[in-house]
Structure 1
């Protein structure tokens, strides 16, 4: 068999491996002085042997290496790639094409999916809903990537939006604020290129207000998203006049449990480790998990607005929903003067 380019050869073997249910790996490539390839070996990802980097033989690490010999060798002859050796026998079991599509070499985040993920993320749609939208459009059985891959793509995209040097400018600003405001506190997570990943800040006024009004706080990430795609996450309380007061804020590039845990820990440390009695949030699962980790003695309560938004979904099919039931529920919630 002959192939016009190295790319065509890789694509052909990749398609063959996907149908038979095994992963693919490029084992070795011999190149000329001008970096152009001359010899190429492509084979099963289970090929080769495992060489542990530690000396503790009593606790070997799990490995997928089985020294499988399935592979093809190709050589560049007069401008075309020619297969010189073909081995098709595997020494391990293979999987169905529906499962093999999730092997690392077979995963592919197509241009359409990248565009939809990016647009939905800029519209502040959470990752689980973002991924579900792609599943609804194409069907899960046709996707060549998982939610983890989509999340990694969005994280990388957010870092690129902020650009190099943005983290340094924000850090300099916070330093100036610390000099001007004696009680100002900030925490920043940055990568190696000074790109901001997550940031938290609170001034002296917010910390002082929390001393008096720390019974109940609200935490909401649906307010807005900045130009770099980072979600604004404010901590808000209520004073004795019924007015909202800011008790600190953050910018986060991801809405997973680890990010929320880091943000909550930074806020709690800023408030001298005194947790509120209750914290009101939406019904996000990752946020709920983080609250149980950080705010051990605080009660979580769901936001009334989010609850009311779900009334039509949960009770809309009831025969009396539009004939007094909805109005009665609203009156009980909004017009009651006591509990």
Structure 2
């Protein structure tokens, strides 16, 4: 059950949708979060244009099963699943805008709701992509049962915990042998960043980056994340340490992400985390931008942020931990 004060995902009277399909998807998403399945029920269409005028979306347990008169002597009838539940969402076409408006919403159910861990098994929540359907067909032709195929998908994604309710990949981390060897040598100070690039699905790409003895950039690992929550970062940091023989960096440079900062002490309590130079400069521009109008002040700040760091690096060479722990 979700908090009552969170209304963004909850239907309400007067809510407007561009199409009937949009309303269905919204109500189905709401049903998945609450723990019930939905289905389309009564509808009315214009006789001349065939345009949908009314649509009733109901809980999958709405109504009762009708008596099957064709086989009254059946001994192994299916279990009754409907309970007469009255939970529903009713939408009506608005003539002026051509959009659909919620005119009736009943929230209460007369049956137990499904837990979040099992919600993806509800009939209206079962979805697979075209690629996954092809993969399942090929695996079925090879003799794999459906359960085995889903288990294989989970293993390919790094475990079933890496799949969401629709069996889509959520979080993925990888590091090859060279990255692991580089981290063993140069992993005292690591920069962790999720602002490099977003793909078309708006999933953040994360990278672990450091420097070698020649001041060349080396990559220690990379990840595709479902979101930037503390839970995702805890998962990612745990997998990073697992790949790196449980060796945590002495210092981790990050951006100003609160969830990231929250996850670091949970997984790596002995690691110091600092803001990188770029974000420090952005803070300066944000809060004291007026000072940057003065060229002399700007020169002092530039020297403070960049030249001092370079001087320290030249002085200490490869001793990156000394540089990282220096407070500027």
TM range (shorter): 0.3 to 0.5
